[in-house]
Chains A and B, each alone.
Chain A
Amino acid sequence: MNDRHVIETAGLWKRYDDVEALRGLDLQVPSGSIFGFLGRNGAGKTTTIKVVLGMSRPNRGEARVFGQSPFNSDTGVAVRRRTAFVSDEKDLYDYMTVGEIVAFTRSFYPRWRGDLEQQYLRQFDLTPSRGIKGLSRGMRTKLAMLLALSRGAELLLLDEPTSGLDPSMAEEMLQALVGHVAAEGSTVFFSSHQLAEVEQIADHVAIIDRGQTIVAGALDDLRAQYRRIQLVFEGNAPDVKVHAPGTHRVRRQGRVLTVLSSSGGDGVIEELRGYRPSSFEVSPVSLKDIFLESVRTED
């Protein structure tokens, strides 16, 4: 465990009744990164966030946030003071006005940033006298983000920050996030189903499936390492088992053999050279492709 990582978990297991939500989850979130946390519904994303916040204790394994345990009563308070969380539900008190909830929230946090509060009220076009009950989904999200960003927190945990937003509103949220990170140097850990937006602003990602991390790393490294290799044969593609390291998925369709590799294309091509393909092509792979090829789709 070291300070380069704001969040670090090792071998987290969490069981609810007869469901194993986490099955040995490892996670390392570098300080100052925008970290995209991906997985299908039920993969364990929300459970992981709860563990990081100290709201849910794992059955096994370790979690450290800022190098400290979120479960110890002393260090847990310190961890939560440095961490701001926006839930998927964007929980807000409906009976308050925008101004009231800002003042209410401000009173809990000694490190509250009045300058950021004013900046985001303007930037998000939030009127203090407006009642929360009447706010649109987009305005609720903006308000929840304002409350999180103004806390002066070093770590922002955002559970699907753009869900339910139209594209221009989503872009506005991403813009506020990258601006905030550039100015404040905070670490952002966000879950999302929008792979394009993760590719756009994240520099690190993890894809989890059934409680385990299956792909993790710097996005640029993944882009450099993942390749799709398509080989065409004169007759039917040979029914081969590909052993080259990093081979993820092999598909045969008629004369075509398609291989997804996480270690470039050279190893696969070298291995299959003996089958004498009539041609082959190596192409880059998007995060969406990596996601779809990595998570198991059968239920």
Chain B
Amino acid sequence: MLLKPNPSSGVPIYLQLMEQVKHAIETGALRPGEQLPSIRPLAEELVVNPNTVAKAYRELEHDGVIELRQGAGAFVSDKAPTKKDADKLRAAQATVAGAIEKLRERGVTDEEIRRLVEAELSGVYKSGGPSSAKASEGKSR
């Protein structure tokens, strides 16, 4: 169900795993109440550090996406917002599609768009956005 993360992307592997689990829940591949693989088999399957899997699970629990039950394993939380999230994502996708369309009309290439988006996002992991705010300000000059 989960794919091997890309270790060289500069994005922490635990964040990539968290995104994958959230995505699986949004698409319905994982449903509330269902059990996630335990740490050892998942670490072996993806060939990643078991501490990294444990960290992803802890953070997902903190976000209310899964529940860790002592001795029993990890389960998708009943409260994990699924359908609503999928709707939100569909709406967001429409926004992104519109923005990309506009940029293409202005002659911005796909590669440039990709870099702009990554630049916007890159500050977010650290501090929640001040550098991305500045980056957009910088570009508009």
Contacts and interface: CB of A to CB of B under 8 A. Distances in A.
Interface in A196-236: 196, 199-203, 219-220, 223-227
Contacts of A240: none
A178 B134 CA distance: 41
A200 B43 CA distance: 11
Interface in B73-105: none
A279 B138 contact: yes
B26 to A, nearest CB: 24
Chain B: interface size category: 35 or more
B115 to A, nearest CB: 6
Contact of B12 (A220, A266, A269): A220
A192 interface: no
Contacts of B44: 175, 178-179, 182
B35 interface: no
A284 B48 contact: no
Contacts of A276: 141
A264 interface: yes
Given A264-B127, A276-B141, A281-B135, A287 B8 contact: yes
A224 B12 contact: yes
Nearest to A287: B8
A264 B123 contact: yes
Chain A: interface size category: 35 or more
B51 A33 contact: yes
A199 B134 CA distance: 30
A203 B126 contact: no
Contacts of A286: 8-10
A181 B130 contact: no
Given A265-B123, A282-B131, A277 B138 contact: yes
A201 B43 CA distance: 9
A227 B130 CA distance: 14
B47 interface: yes
A201 B13 CA distance: 10
A266 B118 CA distance: 16
B11 interface: yes
A269 B138 contact: yes
Given A220-B14, A266-B130, A182 B122 contact: no
Interface of B: 7-14, 39-40, 43-44, 47-52, 55, 115-116, 118-119, 122-123, 125-127, 130-132, 134-135, 138-139, 141
